[in-house]
Amino acid sequence: MTTPISDRVHIAIFGNCNSGKSSLINALTGQHTAIVSDIAGTTTDPVQKSVELPGVGAAVIIDTPGLDDNSQLGQLRSAQSYKILSKTDIAIVIEPIEASFTARLHSLEIPTIHITSKADIGPNNIDSNNTIAVSAHTGEGLDRLRAEIASSIKPDNRLLTDSICQNGDTVLLVMPQDDSAPKGRLIKPQVEVIRELLDRGCTAICCQPQTMDSTLKNLSKPPKAIITDSSAFAQVKAMSPSGVTLTSFSILFARYKGDIELFRQGAKALSSLSKSANILIAEACSHTPQNEDIGRVKLPRLLRKHLGNKITITTLGGNDFPDDLTPYDLIIHCGACMFNRRYVMSRIAAAKEQNVPITNYGIAIATLLNIE
C-alpha cells in the first residue's frame, strides 16, 4: 500500500525564477515531474507530487513559482509560494533569495537546506558547510543534498491510541456505515486506527451502532476502550459500560495532529456564542458532499439545534482556509486526516494569532452533547 500524503514528509523547493527549482525536482526524483524551460516564470502554481526519494523515502515534493517575479501576476504567484510554507516540513532554498523569505522560514522554525544551483556552469557557486552546490544537469551535490534531507527528517514515533489503551488490549470500534460512508471501503481514520491497534497486538472489534449492544454481550469482559465515529457519540455513550474509556476517531486525531487543549478551550466558546454567531466549518477533504455529510449536514443540524436558526455557518473544503479569520466567532475543523501535522498546526496558529477560538468536529460534537 502506498503511504498516505498526510504521512509523507513535505519537501518544498524555493528560489528565484529560472534558478533551476523544477530541474532540481526532476533530478531528485529521477523523473520528468516538472516543466523546465529557460523562460522565467515557467512554474506558475505550486505543484506537488508524491514520490519515493532514493535515500529519503516517502515524500511529497513541492515545486513553487519564483519569488522574485515583481509583475502583478508574479506577486500573486510568489504569494502562493509563501502559502506553501504552511505545509512545508523541510525547505530547500536556492540561494541567493530575498532575506524576508529566509526570515519567514526562520520564524516558522522550518528546517532549511541552503543550496546553490547550476554548479556545472557557475563560477560563483560556493560549496561550504552551510551551502551545497548542486547541478541538476551533472548530478553534482545531489547525494549530499539527499543525505541532508534524510538527516533533517525528525522520526515520529507518536501513536494515535496510546492514551486510551495498552499493547494487547481489546478495543471496540463503532463505525456507522450510513449514507455518508463511502461505498465499499472504510475511511482513512478508521483504517489507520485499526492498523495501529493490530501493530500494537491489540484485538480490534468493529461494529455499527445498531449491533454494539449484541457485540458487547458476546464479549467475556468489557473492552478496554471504545472508539466511535463522532456522529454516533450520544448513542454509543448511552450503551457504553461504565469504567470503559470512550473517545472518537476525531478526538484521537486531534490529539495526534493538533493541539487538543486548545481545541477543548475553543469548544467552550460554544456555550457563550450569540444567537447570530458566525461559524466556520473547515474540512480537509474537498470531496463531493454525501448525504448526511458530517461537515455539511450533521454538524450544522446539531449547531442549529443548540444555537438556533439565526447562526451563519460557512463550510469550506480542501485548501480554502481564509487568511482573515476575524469575521468568525468559532472555527470547527475536521480531523484533518488528509493534512500533515504542520499544516494543521499552522491553521491553529493563524486562529490563535487572530484570537478566534478553534476546535474540531469530535470535541464540538461531544461538547454539544454534554459528553466532554
Ligand X SMILES: Nc1nc2c(ncn2[C@@H]2O[C@H](COP(=O)(O)OP(=O)(O)OP(=O)(O)O)[C@@H](O)[C@H]2O)c(=O)[nH]1
- What's the closest the beta carbon of residue 77 comes to Mg ion, in angstroms? 11
How far is residue 305 CA from its own chain's centroid?
Answer: 30
Q: Going residue by residue from 135 to 174, which x/- string records binding to ligand X, judged by CB under 6 A?
A: xxx-------------------------------------
Number of residues that bind Mg ion (CB under 5 A): 4
C-alpha cell at position 190: 478508521
- Strand-pairing partners, residue 11, are 61, 90
Stretch that binds Mg ion, among 36-44, 71-79, 102-110, 327-335 (CB under 5 A): 36-44
Between 42 and 112, whose beta carbon lies closer to Mg ion? 42
Q: According to the binding rule CB under 5 A, does residue 22 interact with Mg ion?
A: yes
Length of the chain: 372
Between 115 and 358, whose beta carbon lies closer to ligand X? 115
**Within 120-139, which residues bind ligand X (CB under 6 A)?**
120-121, 135-137
- CA atoms lying within 13 Å on the CB side of residue 141: 23
Q: Which of 73, 117, 75 has the alpha carbon at shortest distance from 94?
A: 117
Q: According to the binding rule CB under 6 A, does residue 37 interact with ligand X?
A: yes
- What's the closest the beta carbon of residue 35 comes to Mg ion, in angstroms? 7
Between 41 and 289, whose beta carbon lies closer to ligand X? 41
Show the DSSP H helices in 108-232 as ranges: 142-152, 188-199, 209-217
Between 54 and 122, whose beta carbon lies closer to ligand X? 122
Stretch that binds ligand X, among 112-120, 173-181, 240-248, 305-313 (CB under 6 A): 112-120
* DSSP single-letter state for residue 295: I
**Within 42-101, which residues bind ligand X (CB under 6 A)?**
42-43, 65-66
- Strand arrangement of the beta sheet that strand 245-248 belongs to: 203-207, 170-174, 225-228, 245-248
CA separation for the pair 162, 78 (Å, rounded): 41
C-alpha cell at position 10: 513535505
Stretch that binds ligand X, among 21-29, 99-107, 155-163, 361-369 (CB under 6 A): 21-29
- Strand arrangement of the beta sheet that strand 278-282 belongs to: 312-316, 278-282, 330-333, 358-360
CA separation for the pair 229, 362 (Å, rounded): 8
Between 21 and 296, whose beta carbon lies closer to ligand X? 21
Between 21 and 342, whose beta carbon lies closer to ligand X? 21
Q: What is the DSSP string of 87-110?
A: G-SEEEEESS--HHHHHHHHHTT-
- What's the closest the beta carbon of residue 316 comes to Mg ion, in angstroms? 29
Among 10, 11, 14, 21, binds ligand X (CB under 6 A): 21
Instruction: Kindly give the interhelix angle for 341-353 and 249-257, rounded to the nearest 10 degrees.
Output: 80
> Residue 77: which of Mg ion, ligand X, none does it interact with, CB under 5 to 8 A by kind?
none
CB 226 within 8 A of CB 244: yes
Q: How many helices (H) and strands (E) does the chain have?
A: 12, 14
> Residue 19: which of Mg ion, ligand X, none does it interact with, CB under 5 to 8 A by kind?
ligand X
- What's the closest the beta carbon of residue 122 comes to ligand X, in angstroms? 8
**Binding region for ligand X (CB under 6 A):** 15, 17-23, 36-38, 40-43, 65-66, 117-118, 120-121, 135-137
Contact residues toward Mg ion (CB under 5 A) are: 21-22, 42-43
